[in-house]
Amino acid sequence: MLKYLPFVAIAIILLNACTQPNETSKYVGLKVCKLYDSARMFDTTKQTSNKYRPVKIDVFYPSAQQPAQPALTYGDILDMYEQRFNFNTPIDSCKKTSLMLAQMFAQGFHVDTATKFLTYKLGIYSGLQLPATKHPLIIYAASMNGSAMDNPVLFDSLAAHGYVVAVVSSVGLYPGIMSEALDLNEQVRDILFAIEQMKAQPYVDADNIGILSWSLGGLAAMKAAMVSTDIKCITSFDGNDIHAYGDDTAWDKQYNQMRALPPYSPQAITVPYMYLRSEHPKKVDSLYNPILLTGSTKKYFLKFKDAMHEDFSCFPFIAKQVQPQLTDIHTTYHANIAKLTLLFFDAYLKHDAGADVGGYINKLVGGDGVHYNSKLPSY
C-alpha cells in the first residue's frame, strides 16, 4: 500500500513581485535560502556551528533570463533533502539519501529502476535572474518530514504562471525529524518565519500571500493561518485538517495531541479555503472530525473518489512519465489538481474574476460523477 510511502522512506533513512492575472513566464528559477531563526534554539548540544533553528526555504520563481545551464533533474531536488536540517551535510551523503528515496519510489510504483526517477528532467533552472517586479507568494507547507521533493512539478507550473512559491521543509525539534506532536509547533513557526522573510523580498507582493500544503502540512498551515493575517487563502491537498478516526488508534491519539496544540481557533480562519481529498477507507468515512468548517464563507471541497494519498504529490506523475506503460496511475488527477490549484490562487491572489473554481469543480462532478464528488463528508 502506497498511502504512507514518503513516511516509510524516512523511516528507512533513520534506521541506516505583482503580476497581471494571465501573466506567464518562459523560465522558472530555483533559489535555495538557508536561514537561521535566532529566536529559537535548535542544537542544544552545540555539535554544529550554529545553535539556532535552521529554516531552509526553496524558492521557485518566474524569470526572464534564458538558462545557460541544463535544467535540474528530480535527483537534484532529492539531493537537497538531507540539508533541510543540516546545511553542511556533504553532497555524497545527500546523494546516498537521494538514491534510497528514489529506490523506494521506484519500488512502490513498479518503475524498473531508481535511475529513471533521479534523471527525470524538470523545467527548473538554478541561478536564474530573480524577478524585477512583484509577484504573489504561495507558501508551501511540506508533508511530514517532506520537502520540495513533494511536488516540484506543480511548483514549476505555478511559478511559470507568475507566482513565487516558497517551500518550507518539514523539520521538527532537534535533531530534525518529525515524529511527535510537539514537532508540529516547529513547523508552524517555520511557516510564520518564512512568511516574514519572504515579505521582505523586493519581488514578493506582500499583500497577496496564500498557503498550499499536502498531508500533515495541512494541519500546520491551518494553525499558521489562525494567527497570521498575511495569509489570504488556503489550499490543502489531502491534509490532516480533516482526519479520519478509527483506522489507526495510535495515530488518532497523536493527531488529537497535535490538534490540541495552540493555536486552535478554526473560527479565526475567514479566508477562502479549498480542500482536495483522496479516497479513504469506507469504514471510517462518517467519523471525520474536521477543522475545515471555519468562518470562511468561500469554501471548496472535492473528493477524488478512487485516488490515493500520493496522487497529490509528483510521485505517480513522474512514474508515468518515465515509464508510460504503467497502469493504475491516475494521469487525469494530476492535471485536474494542478488546474484547480491554479484557478484558486488566480481567483484569490491575482483577483482574476474569470477564475471560476466552483464552476470547474461542478464541471468535474457533472462530467464524471464516478470519480469526483463535491459533497462534504457527514460529521
Q: How confident is the model at residue 246 (pLDDT cuts 50, 70, 90)?
A: confident
Q: In angstroms, what CA-CA distances link 354 with 89, 167, 231?
A: 46, 27, 22
Whether residue 174 is predicted with pLDDT greater than 80 in this model: the reply is: yes
- The answer to whether the CB of 124 falls within 8 A of the CB of 158 is no
Q: How confident is the model at residue 185 (pLDDT cuts 50, 70, 90)?
A: very high
Task: Give the mean pLDDT of 19-37.
Answer: 78
Domain annotation covers residue 379:
no
Task: Give the mean pLDDT of 154-161.
Answer: 98
Domain annotation covers residue 188:
yes
What is the Rg, in whole angstroms, of the alpha carbon atoms belonging to the chain?
Answer: 19
The domain in which residue 235 lies consists of 5-373
Domain annotation covers residue 18:
yes
Q: Which of 173-187, 192-206, 273-287, 341-355 has the lowest mean pLDDT?
A: 273-287
Q: How confident is the model at residue 46 (pLDDT cuts 50, 70, 90)?
A: confident
- The answer to whether the CB of 38 falls within 8 A of the CB of 153 is no
Q: How confident is the model at residue 283 (pLDDT cuts 50, 70, 90)?
A: low
Strands 204-214 and 164-168: unpaired
Give me the pLDDT at residue 18, please: 37
- Rounded to 5 degrees, φ, ψ at 335 are -65, -40
- Rounded to 5 degrees, φ, ψ at 191 are -60, -50
Domain annotation covers residue 378:
no
Q: What is the pLDDT of residues 101-149, one digit of tens each?
A: 999 999 999 999 999 999 999 999 999 999 999 999 999 999 999 999 9
Give me the pLDDT at residue 25, please: 61
Structure-derived torsion over alpha carbons of residues 359, 361, 363, 369, reported in degrees to the nearest 10: -150
Task: Give the mean pLDDT of 297-301.
Answer: 90
Q: What count of other Cβ atoms lies within 10 Å of the Cβ of residue 325?
A: 5
Burial group, residue 290, by CB count within 10 angstroms (0-12, 13-18, 19+):
middle
Q: How confident is the model at residue 372 (pLDDT cuts 50, 70, 90)?
A: confident
Mean pLDDT of the chain: 89
Task: Give the mean pLDDT of 18-39.
Answer: 77
Give me the pLDDT at residue 373, please: 87
Cell of 90: 556533504
Q: How confident is the model at residue 16 (pLDDT cuts 50, 70, 90)?
A: very low
Q: What is the pLDDT of residues 79-89, one digit of tens each?
A: 999 999 999 89
Supply the pTM of this predicted model: 0.92
Domain annotation covers residue 327:
yes
Q: Domain count of the chain? A: 1
Q: How confident is the model at residue 226 (pLDDT cuts 50, 70, 90)?
A: very high
Cross-strand pairs, 165:
60, 138
Give me the pLDDT at residue 374, please: 87
Strands 372-373 and 299-304: antiparallel
Whether residue 204 is predicted with pLDDT greater than 70 in this model: the reply is: yes
Whether residue 67 is predicted with pLDDT greater than 50 in this model: the reply is: yes
Cross-strand pairs, 197:
none
Q: In angstroms, what CA-CA distances link 335 with 35, 322, 342?
A: 34, 17, 11
Whether residue 168 is predicted with pLDDT greater than 90 in this model: the reply is: yes
Cross-strand pairs, 73:
121
Give the distance, in angstroms, between the CA of residue 141 and the centroid of all CA atoms in the same chain.
5
Whether residue 291 is predicted with pLDDT greater than 70 in this model: the reply is: no
- Look up residue 54 and give its amino acid: P
Domain of 111: which CATH number? Answer: 3.40.50.1820
Give me the pLDDT at residue 3, please: 44
Task: Give the mean pLDDT of 9-34.
Answer: 60
Q: How confident is the model at residue 375 (pLDDT cuts 50, 70, 90)?
A: confident
Percentage of residues in the chain having pLDDT higher than 90: 73
- Using CA atoms, how far apart are residues 177 and 151, in angstroms rounded to an integer? 20
Q: In angstroms, what CA-CA distances link 262 with 12, 142, 248, 293, 298?
A: 31, 20, 24, 18, 25
Q: How confident is the model at residue 10 (pLDDT cuts 50, 70, 90)?
A: very low
- Using CA atoms, how far apart are residues 344 and 373, in angstroms rounded to an integer? 18
- Using CA atoms, how far apart are residues 302 and 275, in angstroms rounded to an integer? 7
DSSP strands (E only) in 193-312:
204-214, 231-237, 273-277, 299-304
